[in-house]
Structure 1
């Protein structure tokens, strides 16, 4: 089981890294080209803002999945920190189960929204590009986050340690916070 989870985690991590890195580099190039165009040629790139908005959507939703993988998502721990190991374990299992289910449900809803966008053939204003292609990253990111929470759930059910993600336990997450 651990080998399968490792393989799934490895594949999704590569996808997340590629999309986030590509989106950030493209945003930087787009913004730089737009600034140069405005400064030197007195002419902006007409689609620069729209493209950056689409790229921000990608970074947000895929970046969220990547943050969950690294155990760097927001956690409210005021009460949690005062509990013993067994109570923390139960809460961690409940959180992973509920959040995984929520991410998959939101991915399902987002998928249907993307299908509706495709059916009405909605195009972006400046690029005249099909919006459903851009917004398809939303259900993808939510599903990938759901997978990470599901992996966390399985790891918590099958191991004694408390797992925030496949590769991050509660103990090493606390030491990671000191590095920020």
Structure 2
């Protein structure tokens, strides 16, 4: 599943680049509108990359966080904080999946289509609840990993990402200090 997710994310980013650069070259160099669909394809790829990337970032422990209190807390407090943060975030992701699923149903029922490609708009939106759902599952996994024996003396930001506070050495060496 992780390899498929990485492929989808990589393909989306590459597709965005090709569409945007191709559109600029076609328009400015060749004075052509050959890439008239570039905006819609790019928008579709951005939606996929954004919402499918939520779970990937959660697994890697790479989401932006406000960590001022967290960084100064002792290990046991950080572990409790991480469990609570991941559990609450999972709930929020599942709630968002529910609401965006209703949005997809609304788009489906309206029968709206895109202007250039004339494909149903719900096809573009279907990745939003999928992204939220997979992110919710990933945050549940992140919560569970902090209860396992693997995390006995560490805090995990993601299932394979140890907290940066637990990675650094407590003893600072003279050669590590740069002026």
2:29 matches 1:40: yes
Alpha-carbon RMSD across the aligned residues, in angstroms, is 1.8
Change (3 A) 1:174 1:140: farther
Q: May I ask how many residue pairs the two structures share in their alignment?
A: 164
Q: Which runs of 4+ in 1 moved over 2 A?
A: 171-175
Shift of 1:18: 1.6
SS at match of 2:161: coil
SS at match of 1:164: strand
2:161 matches 1:164: no
**Residue-by-residue CA offset, 1:5-32 (whole Å, 9 max, x unaligned):** xxxxxx2x22321211111121222223
Change (3 A) 1:63 1:42: same
TM-score under structure 2 length normalisation: 0.84
Point out where structure 1 has 5 or more consecutive residues left out of the alignment: 1-10, 176-180
Q: Highest Rg: 1 or 2?
A: 2
Distance 1:38 1:138 in 2: 31
Q: Which residue of 1 aligns with 2:99?
A: 109
Distance 1:113 1:139 in 2: 9
**Residue-by-residue CA offset, 1:115-162 (whole Å, 9 max, x unaligned):** 111111111122211111111111111111111111011111223221
Q: Which residue of 2 aligns with 1:16?
A: 5
TM-score under structure 1 length normalisation: 0.84
Q: Is the 8 A contact 2:71 2:165 kept in 1?
A: no
Point out where structure 2 has 5 or more consecutive residues left out of the alignment: 169-179
Query: Which structure features the higher share of helix residues?
Result: 1
2:129 matches 1:129: no
